[in-house]
Structure 1
Amino acid sequence: MADCPGVLHLAEMADGGLARVRAPGGRLSAAQARAIARLASRLGSGVMDLTNRANLQIRGLPLSAGAELGRALADLSLFVDGPADRRRNVLLDPLSGCDPAERADLTNLAQALDQGLVAAPWIGGLSPKFAFALDGGGRAGVAAVASDVALLALGADTLAVAIAGRPLDLALSAGSAVAAALSIAEAAAAIGPDARARDLDAAALSAALVGRGLATPAPAPDWPRALDPVFGVVASANGRAACVVPVAVGRLAPAALSLVADLSERYGRGELALAPWSAVVVPGVAEEDAPKVFAAAEAAGLPPVAVAERLAVVACAGAPACVRAREPAKALALALVAAATARPDALPPRRRSLHISACPKGCAGAAASDLLLLGAADRPGFGLHADAAPRRPGPERGRLERAEPEALLALLRDGIR
């Protein structure tokens, strides 16, 4: 994708315009979720995707649809006109407030950071790729997601900060964390519209934050090394649970989003959270009702938890949605999940990851996978790579001129021979 899309600023794709909807902290009310689903069906092609930063993308829009979409989303409090729209990249752990293992619930902090970005006079100078991650110290390890600024709770009122994946020797209070994060972003914006946190002088930045009273010197803590996706029931001490419902390869049809919204009203507290690992969280469910949530989701075509726990699949849009692609990456990935759902005995014995990328750009993510299928613009089929990512694939271990779901399941189960 050549440019970061927003609501008014649509990305032109082979299947039409693409809009990215940023919900503060990935949180939606049931009413907001249903309204987005209706907009995707009415204005777009009815195709939506969850991104790996817990945003929603609406595909197949006319390139002139941004203004109407913006008005409708503004009425839902999901759009702000101006440059902040594409720069409100705040990832919050979707289990915040639900995970009994977390050290602090950072939901309010995420909302305050979003509001601070909207109000910042320098926001137009910030790169649209500049991103934040907020981790309450729970089991998912969201602070490991590649971000310009990551905040990690060390206790109820103490946070650590990392820039471009590097933890700083600083401690922040809950009261200063938003101001500190905004200061880091402002420093990047002052360099230029393409600057990222990696371009900042960490020592000078740390000294400035301490000098302004926004941080105190402290040893950098151990940092989460990798995102640890969670599916199924996350129990809490009060008898309520969060149901983490898998979404196959991030492809969330409007009907499926509406269904999850309905389930959140029927069994939960009428809200949901988008997860950066292709899932939707329904919080506040009575533990005895959790099986009903998953049964309804599976009946509507969402994958079972047992499949998601052993098969992590990411894929770019692929052909025919992308002009770069020869191979239908997303369609192949969806067929693979469907095959695994139909034949759970064919699943690998332990969790395995697969990345299907129609070209080396790797739009679906930069992390390495156990198995990588890498397409090319000048030849059909996929190259096979092990323990690789699209931008650093390493040696080709073979080729698939025609990829079949059953063959891919065998490769994931048995490895590349």
Structure 2
Amino acid sequence: MTSACGVPSGRGRQRDDACPGALRLHSADDGALARVRVPGGLLTTAQAAELALIADELGDGHLDLTSRGNVQLRGLPHDAGDVLAERLGRVGLLPSPAHERVRNIVASPLGPDTVRVLTRALDAALCADERAARLSGRFLFAIDDGSGDVAALRADITLVASPRDVTLYVADTPVRAVPVADAADRALRAAHAFLDLADAAGEGVRAWRVRDLDPDGTLLGGRAPGPPLPQGTPPAFGLTGGALSVGFPLGRASTAQWRALAGAASGEIRLTPWRGAVLPGIADDRVLAGLAAAGFVTADDSPWHGATACAGRPGCAKSLADVRDDARTALAAATGPQPLPVHWSGCERRCGHPGGTRVEVTAVPDGYRVTVHGAEGAPRTITGLTGDRTSAVVAAARATTQTGLT
């Protein structure tokens, strides 16, 4: 069944988007949580230094990375909104209070300068557009260098740059190729078209993402001739492409680690949607060794590579376990290659879990449930796991997509 406007009825979300921001704080058991949008993951070292100060002076002394390359601060006072806004605004991290939750842009961290130019142009266009403030805090733009690394995240609107032009995609559908100078404006027009479609769907439908109303993007984008959306992989950890790439263990860094990262940078840090950071222009083995000693993940064969976790206890009241502590125990005991990503969740909501082929470790009343998703055949599950048995099953599940859960 469809509505009068041709939009499939019954689609969309049935509640408002409650995504946190830097001004709309989320209340957790360990205090308030703020999510600071960092478009394209682009941070100056001065901005990074201020975030560390805020985490020390107002928060719990840690900074978390999200799957969109944004930064979360936890353990804040519940009335910290005003002082947080003032401090973030002072260093350029809050250019528009009305738009702070919609500045969701991921970008290829090793791409050419065109990627950064497009990121800044799109962010400026979003912040200058009154209607764009209506987008949900989950609506996502991606700017890909052609490698398919961030295009694989299946954003709502993707710009794929080539030496000649930029191809615009809505969901998975190519719409048109445009000059670089016009790309940000075209992306904004596509966002307006989504808002038009959401308005036409009626008051009862809360549409957060393009796929809520238009699963493949054909209502908004048609089926213009063009290449399929590229699908690539994240950059390797270590020294790569004239840059240095590291991961944050379980997506979290202490302020001491954060300052070590900023101290190693040459003016700029590029946070990634894979809970890591790229330091452009740094190709020094000694710097890499120093960051490894500081606790960062510096090699793809590390068991910590691709391992993430929700907040768990004591920060989340819904969690059944201290998943971060349990994940650390399991990862410290792991040996050998573990190519599949793994996500530890404290409850059935599975906050922050990745897509694709993966291992999910979910706390249940009698221990943990381990499930392999996306491998051949139906998802495989073992439940009621505790202690060393959990660690062993997780390691086996991550090691292969063919066997493992025994």
Q: TM-score, normalised by structure 2?
A: 0.85
Secondary structure of the residue that 1:397 maps to in structure 2? strand
> Following the alignment from structure 2 to structure 1, what is the Cα–Cα distance between the partners of residues 240 and 130?
40
Shift of residue 368, structure 1, vs aligned partner: 3.5
Match of 1:375 in 2: 363
- Partner of 2:181, secondary structure, is coil
> Residue in 1 aligned with 2:243?
242
Spell out, residue by residue over 1:173-200, the C-alpha distance to the aligned partner (whole angstroms, 9 max, x if none): 2122111110111222342463432325
1:387 aligns to 2:373 (yes or no): yes
Distance 1:206 1:369, change over 3 A: closer
Task: Name the CA distance, whole Å, in 2 between partners of 1:167 and 1:317.
Answer: 35
Matched, 1:402 2:390: no
- Whole-Å separation in 2 of the counterparts to 1:185 and 1:11: 26
What's 1:121 paired with?
130
3-state SS of the aligned residue for 2:110?
coil
Measured in 2, the distance between the counterparts of 1:13 and 1:143 equals 32
Partner of 1:24: 39
Q: Distance in 1 between matches of 2:353 and 2:328?
A: 17
Matched, 1:135 2:147: no
CA drift of 1:365 comes to: 2.7
Using the aligned pairs only, state the percent identity.
Answer: 32
Aligned CA distance change for structure 1 residues 260 and 368 (closer, same or farther; 3 Å): same
Q: Please state if 1:272 is matched with 2:279.
A: no
Partners of 1:276 and 1:14 lie apart in 2 by 26
Please give the alpha-carbon distance, in whole angstroms, between the structure 1 residues aligned to 2:395 and 2:387. Answer: 14
Q: Deviations over 1:118-164 (max 9, x none)?
A: 111112322121110110113x62111131111112x2232222223
CA-based RMSD of the aligned residues comes to 2.6
Q: CA deviation at 1:384?
A: 1.8
SS at match of 1:396: strand
SS across alignment from 1:18: strand
Counterpart residue identity of residue 143, structure 2: L
Distance 2:73 2:140 in 1: 20
Pick from 23, 27, 42 the counterpart of residue 12 of structure 1.
Answer: 27
Q: CA separation in 1, counterparts of 2:45 and 2:349? A: 35
Gaps of 5+ in 1: 98-103, 208-216, 236-240, 341-345
The AA in structure 2 aligned to 1:387 is: H
Q: 1:23/1:169 Cα in 2 relative to 1: closer, same or farther (>3 Å)? A: closer
Amino acid at match of 1:128: G
1:384 aligned partner, one-letter code: V
Structure 1 residue 173 corresponds to structure 2 residue 170: no
The residue correspondences of 1:136-285 to structure 2 (distance < 5 A) are: 136-138=145-147, 141-153=149-161, 155-164=162-171, 166-190=172-196, 191-192=198-199, 194-198=207-211, 199-200=213-214, 202-203=217-218, 205-206=220-221, 219-225=225-231, 227-235=233-241, 241-264=242-265, 269-285=266-282
Is residue 171–residue 218 contact of structure 1 (8 Å, CA) maintained in 2? no
Normalising by structure 1, we get a TM-score of 0.82
Q: Distance in 2 between matches of 1:405 and 1:396?
A: 12
Tell me if structure 1 keeps the 8 A contact 2:248–2:276: yes
**Structure 1 residues 3, 228: CA separation in 2 closer, same or farther (over 3 Å shift)?**
same
CA distance in 1, matches of 2:142, 2:389: 36
CA contact (8 A) 2:173 2:217 kept: no
Post-superposition CA distance 1:240-282 (Å, at most 9, x none): x200012112112211111111111xxxx32110011121111
Partner of 1:359: 347
The code of the aligned residue for 1:325 comes to S
Q: Gaps (5+ residues) in structure 2?
A: 1-15, 200-205
Where does 1:37-186 land on structure 2 (aligned, <5 Å)?
Answer: 37-97=52-112, 105-138=114-147, 141-153=149-161, 155-164=162-171, 166-186=172-192
How many corresponding residue pairs?
376
Is 1:296 the counterpart of 2:302? The answer is no
CA distance 1:308–1:118, change in 2 (3 Å): farther
Match of 1:305 among 299, 302, 312: 299
Shift of 1:386: 1.7
